[in-house]
Each structure stands twice: as structure tokens, then as C-alpha cells.
Structure 1
Amino acid sequence: MKAPTVRGGTIFLVLVTLLVFTILVKLGLWQLDRAAEKQALQQALTVKQAAAPLDYQGLLALAESESLTGYRLEVQATPVDAPIILLDNQVYEGHVGYLAYQVMRVETESEADDPLLLVELGFIDSGLDRQKLPQLTKLSREVTLSGRVYQRASNPLSQHLLAETGSPMRIQNLNLPELSQTLGLPLAPAILQPEAIPGSALPHPWQPIPMSALKHQGYALQWFSMATAFLILMAYLLIFKRKNKESSKDK
């Protein structure tokens, strides 16, 4: 009467082994696919950064058809009446702080009302007291700015602006449509990170790809290693169970 139970237990163990092994392998393959995507993105960034700088009209035209991250831009910009924006929960070289932004009007030959440009002023440490926001000196005159542009990926867990009133204005996510609505100002769909800002020494972290292809490949190796280890362990258990079954029969 015990044989069917033992056989049924073996079949169940085999099915569980195949299911878990398949899931682990698929997770590893998914990470390899992500690594390939990141490699393609990095190649596209390299091509964009090697090209000549765009003018503002050219950048806005490209926004309708492709990602703007990585393109170089050179503009004449003038400050507008808007608060400094502080993007919360940023980390740079082990320090927690903010990325600061200022809204600027780009001088163009177009007669149309172009959207305003959000310019990254740089990273600033938040300090120990989060109730006290850092104060930055705004750009107060027309300047020539040259640098690269980026579009931040939305956070799937929380993508709303969550703006706090005041000047500077602290936000939790750089949601440009919501920021535009909050400020009551039209904003371009990308941010300019200047190579240098007159009178400012704030650093400008550049991480257009949140996770590198190499990291995805490392995660893939971990999933494949787990799948191999799990398969070896379950094979050992099946062999051990079979030997115990044969020993029971001999007795």
C-alpha cells in the first residue's frame, strides 16, 4: 500500500523541480534580454554624444519621435520667475541630497512661444536637518549653456510630483507634466545638464542608464547558478529517496 504513495511523492518532487528550475532559468534569460537592451541604449548614447550639438528647435522636433537622452544642446537662456526645484532622495558619492533645477527661457528665432527649459544646477547635500532646505543662488542673467540633455525614467512605484509649497520647491519625482501644471508654465520634455555653470561648482551626476548591462549579466549569472544548484540538490534528494526505497524493499 506504501508504493503508490512513494511513487506519487517522487512524481510531485520531479514536477516541483522542473517548475522551479524553469522559473529560475527564465529569470536569467530575462536579465540577459535586459542586458542586451542596455547595451543598445549605451551604443545609441555614444552616437548621440558624438554628434554636433543641437539647437533648441531641433531638440523639440526630435522629442516627438525618439528619446532625447544623450543629445548635446547649446542654448542662450534667460531666467524666468519661478522657484528653484529640489528633487529629493538623490545620492552622489555616498551623500544624500537633492538635484537642483532652475526654469529658463531659451532665446530662439522662432516667433512661437517655445516651452521653457529646465536646467540642472547640480547636486547639493541635504544636511542633517531635512526641515531646512538648502538655499541656492539663482542664475540671474542671460547665459550661454552647453551640455547634454536627459529624460528621467518614471518610477513604477511612485511617479507623482508630490510637490511641497515654498521656495525652493521640494519634489519627490521629476514628473515634468505635473511640474508644468504646478508652476503654470510650459516645460520642454527634457532637462539640460550643463557642462559648466558660471559661478557654480556643484557636481552634475550623469547616470542616463540606471543599471548597466554588466549588472544585468551579473544577475543573470546568479539566476543560472541558483538554477544549477537547485537542480543538483533535487537530483541528490531523488537519488537518496530512491536508494532508501530500494533498501526498504531488500529488508
Structure 2
Amino acid sequence: MKSSSSTNTNLNNTIPVMGAPKRLISWASIFVACLTVLVFSILVKLGFWQLSRAEEKHAWQQELNERQNKAPISFDQLLTLPADDRLTGYRLEAEVNPINQQIILLDNQIYQGTVGYLAYQAVQVNRNSPLLLVELGFIASSMDRRILPRVAPITTTQLLHGKLYQKSTNPLSEHLLAEPGNPLRIQNLNLTELGQLLQQELAPAVLQPDQLVGNTLPRPWQPIPLSSQKHQGYALQWFSMAAAFALLMLYLLIIKKKNIDKPDKNSTN
């Protein structure tokens, strides 16, 4: 009896106590893994999107350079170009006649860190043809928005040479939002609505002249708001964020595994 009792006692000491089986993968772990893959994929996708934008901007810059090196087009040629064609960058030569002295001020413009307006004037090139909107230049705004700056209009017939451009539309607010008066303050350069307000059709692009008689206002040229180099920099930032996020999640996974393994070692001892 003694030996049998001692044998049972030894067997009980050597047989490990079997607890409830551990769940190898929890729902929380699955959720974290899916979230990690989703966030990492989004960051990488944003990086590749910025690279594609950089390629588009590079191709557009090359096209602009080619247009600048070509001979200027005439006003009649401008009117024959497709309405949906991107007209920015073409050079234009036209003799303009100021039929009125209405000044248009495009609000919320920034030049060299100064807030102000871009001033425009609609002039005539050919009778019975749309008017041409000419950029007069940038002028700073006053602290009091009720006081609008005075800009000297074109008053004599001039032969102008310059670059054409089309302002990109704001998808959130593309309407003219005009404040009547002279100067006429507008919030968006919507040529269609501006033509309706002036009761005269406007050409589909704006002329930025190289020179204007009696006008010394700066005329900033920025047909591409963000260069291809900027987009490449943004792409690098997104890829860096994706790499940092992946390393962080890997580090947390290693820490969690070590914390899980510690109780197992203690129970074995």
C-alpha cells in the first residue's frame, strides 16, 4: 500500500496540470493586423499618387516651355482653339483698344508674402468679337476691406505681347461672387459669369502682358502652383510615414510576444 501511494504521489508531481487551451489568435489581434495593413497601404498609395502627380507636372512644365518658345498666336487663332483645351502658356500678340475703364479686382491673392488683389481690365481686340481680359498686375490690399485700391486702367490703344493663362477653378467655390462697383471685386475668376455681368462675352483665357505703358505693377507668373519637385518631396514624406508606421507596429508586436512568453517560462519553472 505504501509503495502504491508513493507511486501515485510521484505521478501526480510529474504530470503537468492541464489548464484551458490558449486561443492562439484573438479577435483584437486580427483587427490590429487588418488596421495595420490598411493604414500602411493607404500611406504607400498616397506616396505613389504624389509620384504620378510629379510626372504630370514635369510633362506640363515641358509643354509650357515649348509653348513659350513658339511664335505668338493671333487673337483670331485663340478663338478657334478648342474650348476644353488648356490654353495656359501660349504667347499672344494683339492690338487692344480700351472701350471702358472698368477695373476688376480678384480677391485673396498673395505675392511675396503680401495679401492683395490681381487687377484686370476687359479690352477690345476686334469688333463683334469677345473681349480680352488683360491682367494689369498685383496690388496690395489695405487693412480696411471697405477701401479698395485704385489701379490705373489702360487708356490708349496698345500692341501687347504676353502669355495666356487660365485660372484653375476652385471645386468648393467657383462662382464669381461679385461686389458691384468700380473697382469690381470678385472672389473667383469665372470668365463665363464675368462676361454675363459685363454683358459681353470674354475670350477663354487671360493675357498677362510683358509690358504695359505707364504701368509698373508686378505681374507674377505661376502657371503651376506646385512643382514636380514639391510632389516628389511629398511622396518621400508619405513613404517615410509608411516605413515608420510599419516599424512601430513591428516593435509593438515583438514587445507583445515577449510579454506573452514570460508567463509561460515562469509556469515551466
TM range (shorter): over 0.9
Tell me which amino acid in the other structure corresponds to 2:242: A
| Counterpart residue number, 2:76 | 57
Counterpart CA distance in 1 for 2:60 and 2:21 is 59
Q: Pick 1 or 2: higher relative contact order, CA cutoff 8 A, min separation 6.
A: 1
- Partner of 1:243: helix, strand, or coil? helix
- Partner of 1:249: helix, strand, or coil? helix
Q: CA contact under 8 A between 2:118 and 2:135: conserved in structure 1?
A: yes
Residues 55-89 of structure 1: per-residue CA shift (max 9 Å, x gap) = 11111112436211000001000012262000000
RMSD: 1.5
Per the TM alignment, residue 11 of structure 1 is displaced from its structure 2 partner at its CA by: 2.5
| Counterpart residue number, 1:120 | 135
| Counterpart residue number, 1:154 | 169
Is 2:154 the partner of 1:135?
Answer: no
Q: CA contact under 8 A between 1:10 and 1:238: conserved in structure 2?
A: no
Q: Which moved more, 1:54-63 or 1:160-169?
A: 54-63
For structure 2, list consecutive stretches of 5 or more residues without a partner in the other structure. Answer: 1-19
The 3 A distance-change label for structure 1 pair 132 and 204 is same
Residues 98-129 of structure 1: per-residue CA shift (max 9 Å, x gap) = 0000000014xxxx722110000000011222
Counterpart CA distance in 1 for 2:178 and 2:83 is 27
Which of 57, 72, 84 is the equivalent residue of 1:38?
A: 57
| Counterpart residue number, 1:202 | 217
| Counterpart residue number, 1:236 | 251
| Counterpart residue number, 1:218 | 233
| Counterpart residue number, 2:13 | none
Tell me which amino acid in the other structure corresponds to 2:42: I
Counterpart CA distance in 1 for 2:235 and 2:70 is 33
Tell me which amino acid in the other structure corresponds to 2:66: V
Q: CA contact under 8 A between 2:96 and 2:125: conserved in structure 1?
A: yes
| Counterpart residue number, 1:98 | 117
Runs (4+) off by over 4 Å? none
Counterpart CA distance in 2 for 1:206 and 1:19 is 41
TM-score (norm 2): 0.88
Is 2:36 the partner of 1:21?
Answer: no
Counterpart CA distance in 2 for 1:151 and 1:243 is 61
Q: How many residues align?
A: 247
Counterpart CA distance in 2 for 1:13 and 1:187 is 57
| Counterpart residue number, 1:87 | 106
TM-score (norm 1): 0.94
The 3 A distance-change label for structure 1 pair 247 and 190 is same
- Partner of 1:17: helix, strand, or coil? helix
Q: Computing the radius of gyration over CA atoms, which structure comes out larger, 1 or 2?
A: 2
Per the TM alignment, residue 2 of structure 1 is displaced from its structure 2 partner at its CA by: 8.2
Counterpart CA distance in 1 for 2:22 and 2:182 is 77
Tell me which amino acid in the other structure corresponds to 2:241: M
Per the TM alignment, residue 140 of structure 1 is displaced from its structure 2 partner at its CA by: 1.1
Counterpart CA distance in 1 for 2:260 and 2:192 is 67
The 3 A distance-change label for structure 1 pair 32 and 39 is same
The 3 A distance-change label for structure 1 pair 227 and 2 is farther
| Counterpart residue number, 2:85 | 66
The 3 A distance-change label for structure 1 pair 247 and 6 is farther
Tell me which amino acid in the other structure corresponds to 1:29: F
For structure 1, list consecutive stretches of 5 or more residues without a partner in the other structure. Answer: none
